[in-house]
Amino acid sequence: MPTRATRRSRAQAVSGAAQALQSTPSTRSGNPRRTRRGISSSSVARAAILAVRVALLAPGVALHELAHHILCVLSGVRVHQVVYFRLGSPAGYVVHEEPIFYRQIFAIVAGPFFLNSAASVVLLNLALRAWAQAQDTLGFGLAAVLTWLGISVGLQAIPSRADARNLYNSSNRHLFQLNPFALVGYPVSLAIYLVQIAKPLGSEWYYAVLLAYLAERGFIGAG
């Protein structure tokens, strides 16, 4: 179930913010009147941070899980449960049966990468066009929404460590069954794992910037 863990790290960030919001009152001491004011301002700040994280997370997670779902259906793998987005850990997941063929697990793991990446480039390209043509509030609002959606889906394009682990384990099984195509899974799973390790350094943001660059090149080329 690659998707169940795909959103786990990001879901912990969201639920962690919510937990901090709930635990804030117990960390204050001193004058009750000053404490209430301190808690109120801290709570508002934490709630605002949580709202921004959820807003940035939700569209990309939903499209990521939709891609997993679509690839399950197209590859003939039965889906038992789908959660496109929620406030919890994980933020989204697809529960499906164990794929029989290697091409099935490879497609399910890689699907969100290609769908989210393509969608991000298209949305950011449309956003650039909208910014260039905007002349009123509606035009600027449309450009802002397209930019938000393009960034969100781009940030969620990278598969998770669980996806990498599932692909690696499946590669081992199918290589033991003398399937040479399984060799492809090793560098792919390694690349996913390395990108996930580099997340504290902003690896997903670097990839989003690359997608924005591709969108800009398409915009310039069209112009």
Residue 55 has pLDDT above 90, yes or no: no
Predicted local distance difference test score (pLDDT) of residue 17: 24
Averaged pLDDT score across all residues of the chain: 82
Q: How far out from the chain centre does Cα 141 lie?
A: 24
- Paired residues of 81 in beta bridges: 95
Residue 4 has pLDDT above 80, yes or no: no
pLDDT band at residue 38 using 50, 70 and 90 as cut-offs: low
Between 51 and 168, name the one with better pLDDT.
168
- Please state, in angstroms and as integers, the Cα–Cα distance from residue 190 to each residue in 8, 80, 183, following that order: 19, 28, 12
pLDDT band at residue 50 using 50, 70 and 90 as cut-offs: confident
Residue bearing tokens 């399984």 = 182
The per-residue pLDDT for range 59-118, each reduced to its tens digit, is 999 999 999 999 999 999 999 999 999 988 788 899 999 999 999 999 999 999 999 999
Between 151 and 32, name the one with better pLDDT.
151
Predicted local distance difference test score (pLDDT) of residue 39: 59
Helix or strand holding residue 189 (H, E):
helix 185-197
Domain count, the chain: 1
- Provide CB contacts within 8 A for 51, sequence distance 6+: none
Predicted local distance difference test score (pLDDT) of residue 128: 95
Predicted local distance difference test score (pLDDT) of residue 223: 57
Quote the domain boundaries for residue 164. Answer: 2-222
The per-residue pLDDT for range 114-155, each reduced to its tens digit, is 999 999 999 999 999 999 999 999 999 999 999 999 999 999
Between 6 and 182, name the one with better pLDDT.
182
